[in-house]
Every structure is written in C-alpha cells, then in structure tokens.
Structure 1
Amino acid sequence: MTPSPIEECIVCALEKYFQDLDGETPSAVYDMVMQAVEKPMLEVVMRQASGKQSVASEMLGINRNTLRKKLQQYGLLEGK
C-alpha cells in the first residue's frame, strides 16, 4: 500500500531529524512528534469546523471532552 502524503512528510522529517542528530542519542521522540503534529492538526480542524467543538470532535473521531482538553493543553480555546 502506498503511504499517504502525510505519512511521507513524517517519514522525511524523522529521517532528517535522526540524520541531524549526527550520532547523538535521541530522546522523547514520541512526545516530540505528537506535539508537532497534534497542535497544527487541531488548529486546522477547528478552522474547518468554524470553531465548533462538537463538529471538530466528530471530524477527528474523538470525544468532545478529549478535544477540549487538547485545545486547553495547546492554548487553543477561543477567548482564553
């Protein structure tokens, strides 16, 4: 199966990351990637949902309370 464009971007970015480490030991790669992907994803989805959390949570396939926690975590709640 052919990887999606998003997967290809992530693979390229991670390969560059490891290459740039130049032999140094990586740490917390999972957290680094999740934070790099999650915040912009939430920003785009919230724009697409016109700021409506119920619509965004449905688009994302996650519970609205989970979405709200994530928005809070990244400082993306409107008016906050």
Structure 2
Amino acid sequence: MNVVRLPATEASRESSPQSALGECVTRTVRRYLADIGDTVCDEGLHALVIREVEIPLLREVLAFHDGNQSRAAAALGINRATLRKKLTQYGLI
C-alpha cells in the first residue's frame, strides 16, 4: 500500500478558506482518521464518507421541501429518478 503522510504542520495548513461545510468535513475526517489509525476501512473511506454524508443530505433536503421529491431533486441538482433510486438504496422510502 502506498501511503503519503503530510507533516502535521503541512496537513493542518489551509491553502484557501473553506466553507463551513468544508471545515466540518475536514474536522470530522481528521478525527476519524486519528481514531482508526492505520486500520483499513473495509468499504473504503470514500464510500464510507459519501454514504455518511449522503443519507442526512437526502433526508434533510427532502424534509425541507415537505417530501416533494421533484423539488428536492431540483435543489440537489439530480434527476428525480436518481433521487428515488438513492432514497430506496438507503431505505429512506
């Protein structure tokens, strides 16, 4: 496995300002990585983060639009059929 580790000072330095959401993701991923250390995430870190972010994202956007899937899909920038597929995939409908 090829692993590249940045020095702590370089890893914590930000090249440009992040949004509040970006900062939240950065802090959470850093904490998660510190917690698991060198343990390999079986499903892959990318898949884990996408799943953990996508489920509440879909749930909250759908709730904000009072369950209207067409409006929620438009807000998310995805097709309504794609939204339904994801909702079904995650057991949200």
RMSD between aligned alpha carbons? 1.2
SS of the aligned residue for 2:21 comes to: helix
Q: When the two structures are superposed, what TM-score results if normalisation uses the length of structure 1? A: 0.88
**Which residue matches 1:22?**
37
Identity of aligned residues (%): 39
Normalized against structure 2, the TM-score is what?
Answer: 0.76
Unmatched runs of 5 consecutive residues or more in structure 2 = 1-15
> Relative contact order (C-alpha < 8 Å, sep 6+): which is higher?
1
- Runs (4+) off by over 4 Å: none
Aligned residues: 77
CA distance in 2, matches of 1:25, 1:64: 35
Alignment of 1:73 with 2:79, yes or no, is no
- Whose helix proportion is higher, 1 or 2? 1
SS of equivalent to 1:34:
helix
